[in-house]
Structure 1
Amino acid sequence: MIIGVPKEIKINEDRVAITPAGVQTFTGAGHKVLIEEKAGLGSGITDEAYVSSGAELVATAAEVFKRADMIMKVKEPLPSEFQLLREGQILFTYLHLAREPELTAALIKNKVTAVAYETIQLDNGVLPLLTPMSKIAGKMAVQVGAHFLEKPYGGKGILLGGVPGVAAADVVIIGAGSVGASALKVAVGMGAQVTIIDQNAERLRYLDDLYGGRINTLVSNQFNIRQSVRYADLLIGAVLVVGAKAPKLVSEEMVKEMKPGSVIVDVSVDQGGSIETIDRVTTHNDPVYIKYNVLHYAVANMPGAVARTSTFALTNATLPYALELANNGFYEAVKNNNALSRGVNTYKGNLTCGAVGESLKKDYMKIADLLG
């Protein structure tokens, strides 16, 4: 199989979909890897490093798309790339189609075989390709929040961990999955007063035992969320429904009750956001906007800011699945791997992810029915 890796064109996206080690793994298995020139520079990977690992450098993204049987990316294709997608081509990347009706339509129209990193799911519910980026985004959410709580950046001028005699900041995390748990770890480590909210009481018991009573845990309901949001200095949205739009758990009225200069970081913005006042996606160049005197951070590709760490963490997770697709072909790989089959979002002009179909109000078919 020919694997193609174009340079990411989303603003401030410096990750790349493969490392030299990944190239060597593919070529060692008899496959060919095409890399667009300078695709890895943002992650500190030179063209020479790719070539020495066995890749062929290609001058343009158009040539990569034209020649490759499988395209590996980090982020979803942008409109300028839609026309490059072709029938039967495998697209392996983060897609987040629940908030991307135009991309969904393009994938269906072009009959692309689209496999989304974020919906590959093991039988136990673990999301192996989403987890490494979730952990990075969760840790970054606290760093970013601490930064924007500083007065020169618009915040109320609070040190997250406080000092002796002065109270630490109140951090509220909604969602106790990979993102929330990672944010919790950093926030506790920095000395903040942390409350974490989730609907899974067993998960909360686990975290309470893990941190020995140093955190507050609350079961998710509107009363508990409202009370917690009201006093939060830093509010982190860390909610995920696999493949679907995030539920709006924090209303506009709740945000209005927050203290001026407080900060919201909604990590679930790439799935539509879990906070009602997150009504736009921002970039690393212009990451925040102010609404009701509260700073809103809504960058959808947070891990892109730490591109080298993210690239290596991501490709460690994606490579085994990509190699399975290359070695066995799409049909056999998906038939024999339940986790991979759950990752298929479009196939032969059909939408195949139920959560996306329900979010976009579009008809969908199960991939098992299409494969026979």
Structure 2
Amino acid sequence: MNIGLPKEIKDQEFRVGLSPAAVQALQERGHQVFVESGAGLGSGFRDADYQAVGAKIVATAAQAWDEEMVIKVKEPLASEYQFLTLPKILFTYLHLAANRDLTETLLKTDLTAIAYETVERERGGQISFPLLTPMSMIAGRLAVQFGARFLERSQGGRGILLSGLPGVQPGQVVILGGGVVGTEAARIAVGCGANVTIFDVNVERLCYLETLFGARVNYLYSTSNALAQVIPTADLLIGAVLIPGQRPPCLVSRGLVQQMIPGSVIVDVAVDQGGCIETLRPTSHSQPTYVEAGVVHYGVPNMPGAVPRTATQALTNSTLPFVLKLADLGIEACDQDRGLGLGINVQNHRLIHPALHKEFPDLL
């Protein structure tokens, strides 16, 4: 199969869909990869690195898109819609629940759009999302890192050091959701000495988290009453709610944000699916924050793009087995691998994933 690897064009998105090591694995199976010149530079991979493993470098995005399958990191932007009539398979993060325009555009094409974030794996009765997990881990860790930065007075924050000092209270970190993002955020926040509270609606998950962090974290069942009592005290509020393929519920109203202390910070990792905080809207790495109700809001939807070297390697380690299946078998791979098949969001001009049926009933 011929596979295209275009350069990402989202603001400061420095990741790339395949590392040279992944390209080599494809080449060894008899597949040919066409890499847009400069696609890997942001992650530290030169054109020569791809050429050394057998890839062909092409000069334009159109050439990279004009292949049987295109591998990307982020969803196509409006300027890339012109290319969506070219490949048969698009394999990338899509987050269609928060993007009606892209959803409607994909429905007009002949391609099969497979979303990393809805590919599943089942082991021992447990469902996981193997292509979402590595980026969720990075985003969770970065949420605290960025939150700590924007709590600095020079960045518009309260001037809080999350760790505190002997004789000075540590910062208050409140995390909404105890999944992968929330767990990793807690790991970093606990490590730096903050006072951490995690909310979740799954008591079993809260019990599991207690085995990880013990008495260093407060574990609360998520109700509107409990949120209303705790969120106004937060120095850093992290949204970490995931409902695969769907918009998360809005857990924090504008009124509740208005009760937060001026200069506190909100980071919503769920913003790429629509977010769980009413006042938060998508931002960019170039302009990552804005202030509303006196609170600093951070809503960058491609947070892992800030650490592209790490993120690209982590992502391709997870996507490569599925990419190889698709390259070897084409779309039939989705019939043989049920988890991969659940990644199909759009095919034959129809919405396929059940979560999108709930989000866009008028498009069925």
Q: Counterpart amino acid of 1:74?
A: V
Partner Cα separation in structure 2 for residue 357 and residue 155 of structure 1: 41
Q: Secondary structure at the match of 2:290?
A: strand
Quick check: 1:310 aligned with 2:327? no
User: CA deviation digits over 1:202-230, x for unaligned, max 9?
Assistant: 11111112212111000111011111111
Partner Cα separation in structure 2 for residue 232 and residue 344 of structure 1: 39
Which residue of structure 1 aligns with residue 278 of structure 2?
A: 276
1:180 Cα deviation after fit: 0.2
Matches within 5 A, 1:178-327: 178-278=180-280, 280-327=281-328
Query: Contact conserved, 2:265 with 2:298, CA < 8 A, in 1?
Result: yes
Partner Cα separation in structure 1 for residue 302 and residue 335 of structure 2: 31
Which residue of structure 2 aligns with residue 77 of structure 1?
A: 76
Matches within 5 A, 1:20-169: 20-66=20-66, 68-86=67-85, 89-123=88-122, 124-169=126-171
Query: Structure 1 87/57 Cα, relative in aligned 2: closer, same or farther at 3 Å?
Result: closer
Q: Secondary structure at the match of 2:297?
A: strand
Query: Contact conserved, 2:38 with 2:46, CA < 8 A, in 1?
Result: yes
Q: Secondary structure at the match of 1:57?
A: strand
Query: Contact conserved, 2:121 with 2:129, CA < 8 A, in 1?
Result: yes
Partner Cα separation in structure 2 for residue 254 and residue 347 of structure 1: 41
User: CA deviation digits over 1:175-234, x for unaligned, max 9?
Assistant: 000000000000000000000000010111111122121110001110111111111010
User: Superposition RMSD on alpha carbons, in Å?
Assistant: 1.0
Query: Contact conserved, 2:65 with 2:86, CA < 8 A, in 1?
Result: no
1:111 Cα deviation after fit: 2.0
The unaligned stretches of length 5 or more in structure 2 are none
Partner Cα separation in structure 2 for residue 122 and residue 224 of structure 1: 33
Partner Cα separation in structure 2 for residue 182 and residue 249 of structure 1: 20
Q: Counterpart amino acid of 1:317?
A: S
The count of aligned residue pairs is: 361
1:251 Cα deviation after fit: 0.8
Partner Cα separation in structure 1 for residue 351 and residue 361 of structure 2: 11
User: CA deviation digits over 1:43-85, x for unaligned, max 9?
Assistant: 000000000011000000101112x100000000011111111
The alignment's TM-score, normalised by the length of structure 2, stands at 0.98
Query: Contact conserved, 1:172 with 1:195, CA < 8 A, in 2?
Result: yes
Q: Counterpart amino acid of 1:233?
A: D
The alignment's TM-score, normalised by the length of structure 1, stands at 0.96
Q: Secondary structure at the match of 1:95?
A: coil
**Identity over aligned pairs, percent:** 52
Partner Cα separation in structure 2 for residue 334 and residue 154 of structure 1: 48
Query: Contact conserved, 1:170 with 1:231, CA < 8 A, in 2?
Result: yes
Quick check: 1:359 aligned with 2:349? no
1:88 Cα deviation after fit: 6.3
Partner Cα separation in structure 1 for residue 217 and residue 232 of structure 2: 18
Q: Secondary structure at the match of 2:129?
A: coil
Which residue of structure 2 aligns with residue 345 of structure 1?
A: 345
Q: Counterpart amino acid of 1:192?
A: A
Which residue of structure 1 aligns with residue 19 of structure 2?
A: 19
1:86 Cα deviation after fit: 1.9
Q: Counterpart amino acid of 2:277?
A: I
Query: Contact conserved, 2:65 with 2:87, CA < 8 A, in 1?
Result: no
Partner Cα separation in structure 1 for residue 221 and residue 353 of structure 2: 29
Which residue of structure 2 aligns with residue 335 of structure 1?
A: 335
Query: Contact conserved, 1:111 with 1:346, CA < 8 A, in 2?
Result: no
1:328 Cα deviation after fit: 1.4
Q: Counterpart amino acid of 2:339?
A: A
Partner Cα separation in structure 1 for residue 301 and residue 248 of structure 2: 13
Q: Counterpart amino acid of 1:220?
A: S
Q: Secondary structure at the match of 2:250?
A: coil
1:87 Cα deviation after fit: 6.4
The unaligned stretches of length 5 or more in structure 1 are 365-372
Q: Counterpart amino acid of 1:247?
A: P
Partner Cα separation in structure 2 for residue 106 and residue 217 of structure 1: 43
1:357 Cα deviation after fit: 2.5
Query: Contact conserved, 2:88 with 2:112, CA < 8 A, in 1?
Result: yes
Q: Secondary structure at the match of 2:198?
A: strand
Q: Secondary structure at the match of 2:83?
A: coil
Which residue of structure 2 aligns with residue 367 of structure 1?
A: none
Q: Secondary structure at the match of 2:127?
A: coil
1:363 Cα deviation after fit: 4.3
1:304 Cα deviation after fit: 0.3
Partner Cα separation in structure 1 for residue 130 and residue 168 of structure 2: 41
Q: Secondary structure at the match of 2:4?
A: strand
Q: Secondary structure at the match of 1:49?
A: helix
1:362 Cα deviation after fit: 3.5
